[in-house]
C-alpha cells in the first residue's frame, strides 16, 4: 500500500533552525505588547507591513496573530484589522463580585443595556428555586454587557417577585443592578455558579455580533442575600476570551450532564 505524505503547513514550513518563524514573530509581538510598545487599543500594522518588518511571508504573520488571539492578546475586528486587547482577568469564587465590580477591579469600564423586559409567570423550576408558587408573576430581562465599549456578554436575569417594584424602575442603561439593589438596602452576598461551554443561539449571535453557534462560556447563577433569601436566577453567556474563572479544587464539584 503506497504511503501518503502529510499536507505541509505553510507556516511551519517557513522556518529555519529552532522555533518556527511564526512562533518567533508571535514571541516578539507578545514582548512588545507586554512592554507597552504596542499599547492596549492599538491597531497593529497590516499583515503585509508586519511581513516586511519581520522578513517573513504573510502566512507566517497570520499564524503568529492567530496564536496571540488564542491567548486573548489581540482581536480581529471586521474591517478594523488586528487590535491589542486588554488581558481578561481571572475571577475567583472566594468572594462575591458582580460583573461591574469585577470589571472595575481590573481597570476596565463596564457598561450594559437592557435589551428586553418581560413580566411572566414562573416555571416549575423557577418556583422551586425561588420558593414561590408555580405560575406566580415575576419579572425578567435580557441585558447586553460591555467592557470598554465592546459587547462581551448576554445576561438573562429572572428576579424574585418581592423585588419586582425595584427591578421595574431600573433604567435600561443601569450600570450595576447589584449597586442599585444595595441602595435599596438589599445586599447580595453569595451565589452558586455552574459553568459550561455552549453554542451561541440566534438571539445571542444578534445581541453579541458573533456568528450563530460560536462558542460561548455560560455561567448559571443563583444569588442570595446574607440572610439566604434568593434574589436572582441568572444565565450569563460570555464571548470567547472575555473572562476566566478560577476554582479551588477542594471546593469544586464535577457534575455529569
149, 137, 160: which is closest to 227 by C-alpha?
A: 160
Q: What is the largest CA-CA distance in the chain?
A: 77
- The whole-number pLDDT of residue 70 equals 76
Cα 107 to Cα 102: distance, rounded to the nearest angstrom: 9
Interior CA angle at 83 toward 243 and 114, to 5°? 50
- The whole-number pLDDT of residue 99 equals 86
Reading the chain (257 residues) residue by residue, the pLDDT tens digits are: 444 433 334 444 444 445 688 999 999 998 998 888 888 888 899 999 999 999 999 999 999 998 888 777 888 877 778 988 766 555 555 555 788 887 877 777 899 999 999 999 999 999 999 999 999 999 999 999 998 888 999 999 999 999 999 999 999 999 899 999 999 999 998 888 889 999 999 999 999 998 899 999 999 999 999 889 999 999 999 998 777 776 655 554 554 44
CB distance 157 to 143 below 8 Å: yes
70, 236, 77, 232: which is closest to 152 by C-alpha?
A: 236
CB distance 221 to 235 below 8 Å: yes
- The whole-number pLDDT of residue 68 equals 86
At the second CATH level, the architecture of 10-84 is: Orthogonal Bundle (1.10)
Question: What are the φ/ψ torsions at residue 116 (nearest 5 degrees)?
Answer: -160, 150
Positions of CATH 1.10.10.10 in the chain: 10-84
Residue with cell 488564542: 70
Beta bridge partners of 16: none
Cβ-based neighbours of 134, under 8 Å, separated by 6 or more: 122, 123, 124, 127
- The whole-number pLDDT of residue 48 equals 93
The number of CA neighbours under 13 Å toward the Cβ of 4 is 3
Q: Is 147 helix (H, G, I), strand (E, B) or coil?
A: strand
CB distance 157 to 166 below 8 Å: no
Grid cell digits, residue 185: 438596602
Cα 149 to Cα 245: distance, rounded to the nearest angstrom: 22
At the second CATH level, the architecture of 90-251 is: 3-Layer(aba) Sandwich (3.40)
Cα 95 to Cα 92: distance, rounded to the nearest angstrom: 7
Residue-wise DSSP of 39-104? -TTPBPPPHHHHHHHHT--HHHHHHHHHHHHHTTSEEEETTTEEEE-PPPPEEESSS---HHHHHH
Positions of CATH 3.40.1410.10 in the chain: 90-251
Question: Pairing state of beta strands 244-246 and 90-92?
Answer: parallel
* pTM higher than 0.75: no
- The whole-number pLDDT of residue 165 equals 94
Question: Pairing state of beta strands 74-77 and 81-84?
Answer: antiparallel
- The whole-number pLDDT of residue 222 equals 93
Amino acid at each position: 500500500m503506497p504511503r501518503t505524505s502529510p499536507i505541509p503547513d505553510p507556516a511551519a514550513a517557513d522556518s529555519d533552525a529552532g522555533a518556527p518563524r511564526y512562533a518567533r514573530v508571535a514571541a516578539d509581538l507578545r514582548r512588545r505588547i507586554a512592554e507597552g510598545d504596542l499599547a492596549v487599543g492599538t491597531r497593529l500594522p497590516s499583515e503585509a507591513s508586519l511581513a516586511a518588518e519581520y522578513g517573513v511571508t504573510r502566512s507566517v504573520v497570520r499564524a503568529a496573530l492567530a496564536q496571540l488571539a488564542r491567548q486573548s492578546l489581540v482581536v480581529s475586528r471586521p474591517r478594523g484589522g488586528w487590535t491589542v486587547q486588554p488581558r481578561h482577568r481571572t475571577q475567583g469564587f472566594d468572594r462575591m463580585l458582580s460583573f461591574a465590580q469585577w470589571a472595575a477591579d481590573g481597570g476596565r469600564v463596564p457598561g450594559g443595556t437592557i435589551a428586553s423586559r418581560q413580566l411572566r409567570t414562573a416555571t416549575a423550576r423557577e418556583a422551586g428555586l425561588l420558593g414561590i408558587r408555580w405560575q406566580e408573576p415575576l419579572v425578567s430581562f435580557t441585558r447586553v454587557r460591555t467592557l470598554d465599549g465592546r459587547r462581551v456578554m448576554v445576561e438573562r436575569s429572572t428576579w424574585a417577585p418581592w423585588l419586582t417594584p425595584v427591578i421595574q424602575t431600573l433604567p435600561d442603561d443601569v450600570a450595576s443592578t447589584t449597586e442599585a439593589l444595595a441602595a435599596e438596602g438589599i445586599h447580595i452576598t453569595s451565589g452558586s455558579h455552574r459553568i459550561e461551554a455552549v453554542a451561541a443561539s440566534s438571539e445571542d449571535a444578534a445581541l453579541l455580533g458573533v456568528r450563530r453557534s460560536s462558542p460561548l462560556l455560560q455561567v448559571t447563577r443563583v444569588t442570595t442575600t446574607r440572610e439566604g433569601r434568593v434574589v436572582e436566577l441568572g444565565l450569563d453567556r460570555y464571548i470567547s476570551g472575555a473572562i476566566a474563572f478560577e476554582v479551588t479544587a477542594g471546593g469544586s464539584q464535577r457534575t455529569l450532564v
